[in-house]
Copies of this chain bind each other. A is one copy, B any other.
Amino acid sequence: MRNPLILRLKRSYGLGEEDCAKLSSLAIEQQHLAQRKDIFREGDRPSNAIVVMEGIACRYKWMGDGKRAITAYLLPGDFCDPHLGAFRRMDHNVATLTACTIAEIPRATIEVFIKNNPSLARALWQASLIEGTILRTWLANMGQLSADRQLAHLLCELRVRLEVVGMGEKNTFRLPLTQQELGDALGITTIHVNRVLQRLRENDLIRVIERTVFVPDIARLEAFADFNPGYLHISVENTDQKGEARGHQEENGLFLLDA
């Protein structure tokens, strides 16, 4: 299996082949974590960069009444703290949801690397930009979409993001999250997640077998969710460039990645 960090650096963060090659030659310490273990807590100031290499983690906050809000899912290749703790303490927690493998890259290593290959700084910057676009999309969806479309949208997003790092075929991906963990991200109760999942299955928008999601008709699911992957800023691996779709569109247009 390819290194998910390298895959992301190339396809999401715009790092060139050469830099990726150099980076992948570094020996980076990895460690395994059980499910539901905190990686960072509120108030921590991480000194090294931690990247999820396998499994699914999340950012979350505790609300005053004891509810939990998940504000991001971290998939392989995602940085737990793209800012490297440079300026601030964490204002939220980061924890594994499933068992995970994480890589810890010492800050010194990164600084040396950046000095020689400045494009890595740009890549980190890019990573936090993309986090921002995902946050804005989640926020907009949570405010305006019904629970079924919102869940459908999340599944569309996860399908794409997981596929990029080789954790899914085109129509299938494993999603080992509980309904509780989905609900905390969508802002709906576990029970409602259950109802909504059933409705999606009834309409054959998805099929679920043993925590594996199968999407019989991707276009139909994406249409239902009004999903447009532009906000994920994933560059196409293939050479079909879809030149037509570029440029300014007046209404509701989203934009593919610039060349």
Contacts and interface: CB of A to CB of B under 8 A. Distances in A.
A91 interface: yes
Given A14-B87, A87-B126, A248 B41 contact: yes
A109 to B, nearest CB: 21
A258 B44 CA distance: 12
Interface string A107-147: 00000000000000010011011011101111111111100
A148 to B, nearest CB: 14
Interface string A74-109: 000000000100111101100000000000000000
B59 A125 contact: no
B62 A252 contact: yes
B231 A69 contact: no
A131 B92 CA distance: 14
Nearest to A187: B143
Chain A interface size band reads 35 or more
A133 B135 CA distance: 10
Copies of this chain, count: 2
Contacts of A44: 248
A252 B139 contact: no
Given A43-B255, A129-B87, A258-B88, A71 B136 contact: yes
A43 B253 contact: yes
A64 interface: yes
Contacts of A252: 62-64
A247 B43 CA distance: 7
B136 A59 contact: yes
A247 B89 CA distance: 10
A4 B120 CA distance: 34
A249 interface: yes
Nearest to A60: B140
A186 to B, nearest CB: 7
Interface of A: 14, 41-44, 59, 61-65, 67, 69, 71-72, 83, 86-89, 91-92, 122, 125-126, 128-129, 131-133, 135-145, 184-188, 226, 230-231, 233, 247-249, 251-255, 258
CB-based closest 5 A-B pairs: A143-B187, A69-B140, A64-B226, A135-B135, A71-B136
20 contacts: A42-B254, A43-B247, A43-B249, A44-B248, A63-B144, A63-B145, A64-B226, A69-B141, A69-B144, A71-B136, A72-B136, A83-B129, A87-B125, A128-B128, A132-B132, A135-B135, A139-B142, A142-B143, A143-B186, A144-B187
